Amino acid sequence: MSYEKLYCIPFLVAAFHCQAQNDDKFNFGFESQKDKSSLSDGWFKWGDYNLAIDSLAYSGINAVKITATGSGKFGCIAYPIPAIYSGKTLKLEGYMKIKNVKNGFAGLLLRIDGKEGILAFANMDDQQIEGTKDWQKYSITLNYPQKSETIYVAGILSGKGEAWFDDFNLTIDGENIETLTEAEIEEPKAILDTAFDKGSLLDLSILTAEKTDDLELLGRVWGFLKYHHPGIAKGNYNWDYELFRFLTTYIKAENEADRNKLIIDWIDSLNPLENCTECKETDENALIKPDLNWIQNQDSALKDKLLSVYNNRSQGQHYYIELTPSVGNPDFINENSYENMPYPDDGFRLLSLFRYWNMINYFFPYKHLMDADWNIKLKEYIPVFLDAKNELEYELAALQLISDIQDTHANIWGGGDKIDAWKGSNFPPINLRFIENKLVVADFL
């Protein structure tokens, strides 16, 4: 073999490698750079440090270099990917080389964002990678949350020094994202239901004691089904609007037997229940247990129907609620605020009461510490909400209900403009305090 042929082999291999990287779906190797004056295609800068394409690559001809500056705090090279793939676990791998890194760290960064902010995040800061190190492969893993919208693949440097990054690779459940096909995202049926966007068309102004009892039971059943029935959990129903549909018939029930049969038929009209093998009894040592006493008080047919739902209840992902990542607070999602209805009609005012009462009933951990029994509040507030004659009375009814949970974090956050106007914009230029049970002027403004 001639020396010329031997000499050409490395260049042929290098050319093939570069071509393969350029054909990749994602520019993880920094090889695609249409504009030589900017960063590699698809990548962008976070932070204040200097970023540049560099020829000191792990493979191919390009890597990215981050150089610390005197004034900045960190630098990051990031690549956004639409979260349109199915899976449960993300793993980011990549090669990194560092020089004189101190007073900080260098590492890979993986961030997952949803509609309302960051859902999951890792940047290897806990490993405190410092000093001078040649090219090494690193990896980080995150759970892939539901409702993810964007995945950020990145490399980060904080403190002083320099860091190079090259050849990132992202896998979902062990499969290279380069080989995955986009998941077919089907819109939940609940989103497609717009029948009552302009109003419920309900008149609930004639409210007898019997009808109040009927509405109290309906509020309990509606909320119970919302948070337990698998079909509702999957987003197969706009549960707000199903309430209005059912109310048109339910409100006409002439006696308890007719009323209960309507509820049973309503439940039967939903997606059939499947046998739940994961639905277990609540641990007897649990501090807070489900309150099912109201179900036990129903006639045998309705009680059995409701208990059937409970015994085969939804498990896992839910259309109307999820847990805040790393915190565990309930996050009530897909709840339309109906901002176009500052003074909603009878049906929507009743809906607002049903919504809030059930949120507190099922998810507020301090319900047992309230002065009043939350169980009686649903019936108590039905006439208050339905008798609200204007926007101010409706806002005051909502504020009164909120105050009953005795939590200073709870308030009307937005939408209380009539209350603000009612209270007025003027106030005395003093600060008052109670000292030894006496009201004292403590300061002047």
Backbone angles phi, psi at 245, to 5 degrees: -60, -45
Residue 342 has pLDDT above 60, yes or no: yes
pLDDT digits (tens, 9 = 90+) for 127-159: 999 999 999 999 999 999 878 999 999 999 999
Percent of the chain clearing pLDDT 90 (strictly above): 77
Backbone angles phi, psi at 201, to 5 degrees: 65, 20
Residue 420 lies in a domain: no
pLDDT (average), residues 424-433:
88
Of residues 196 and 72, the one with the higher pLDDT is 196
Residue 421 lies in a domain: no
**Structural domain tally of the chain?**
2
pLDDT (average), residues 351-355:
98
Rounded Cα gap, residues 355 and 353, in angstroms:
5
Indicate if 167 and 201 belong to the same structural domain.
Answer: no
Query: Residue 303: which domain range?
Result: 189-388
Mean pLDDT for the chain overall: 91
Residue 49 lies in a domain: yes
17 pLDDT band, cuts 50/70/90, is: very low
Indicate if 218 and 86 belong to the same structural domain.
Answer: no
Q: Of 345, 361, 388, which residue sits at a domain end?
A: 388
Q: Identify the pLDDT of residue 23.
A: 59
- Least confident segment among 24-38, 85-99, 200-214, 302-316: 24-38
Residue 397 lies in a domain: no
- Tokens coding 363: 């998810």
Q: Of 179, 200, 235, which residue sits at a domain end?
A: 179
Q: Identify the pLDDT of residue 336.
A: 94
Indicate if 140 and 207 belong to the same structural domain.
Answer: no
Indicate if 121 and 238 belong to the same structural domain.
Answer: no
9 pLDDT band, cuts 50/70/90, is: very low
Indicate if 304 and 376 belong to the same structural domain.
Answer: yes
55 in Cβ contact with 61 (< 8 Å): yes
Indicate if 62 and 118 belong to the same structural domain.
Answer: yes
Indicate if 47 and 103 belong to the same structural domain.
Answer: yes
Residue 364 lies in a domain: yes
Indicate if 214 and 265 belong to the same structural domain.
Answer: yes
Indicate if 32 and 113 belong to the same structural domain.
Answer: yes
Closest CA to 66 of 162, 137, 170: 162
SS3 of 332-387: the string is ECCCCCCCCCCCCCHHHHHHHHHHHHHHHHHHCCCHHHCCCCHHHHHHHHHHHHHC
Name the DSSP letter for residue 284: T
Rounded Cα gap, residues 274 and 312, in angstroms:
7
Indicate if 158 and 202 belong to the same structural domain.
Answer: no
Cα 30–chain centre separation:
33
Residue 201 lies in a domain: yes
| DSSP-derived pairing of the beta strands 50-54 and 117-122 | unpaired
Cα 213–chain centre separation:
35
Q: Identify the pLDDT of residue 2.
A: 37
Q: Of 121, 156, 179, which residue sits at a domain end?
A: 179
Residue 308 has pLDDT above 90, yes or no: yes
Rounded Cα gap, residues 434 and 326, in angstroms:
40
Percent of the chain clearing pLDDT 70 (strictly above): 94
Q: Identify the pLDDT of residue 13.
A: 36
Residue 15 has pLDDT above 70, yes or no: no
Residue 8 lies in a domain: no
Residue 396 lies in a domain: no
Backbone angles phi, psi at 21, to 5 degrees: -65, -40
pLDDT digits (tens, 9 = 90+) for 354-410: 999 999 999 999 998 999 999 999 999 999 999 999 999 999 999 999 999 999 889
Q: Identify the pLDDT of residue 8.
A: 33
Residue 5 has pLDDT above 80, yes or no: no
Indicate if 175 and 201 belong to the same structural domain.
Answer: no
- CATH code where residue 123 lies: 2.60.120.260
Indicate if 264 and 314 belong to the same structural domain.
Answer: yes
Residue 7 has pLDDT above 60, yes or no: no
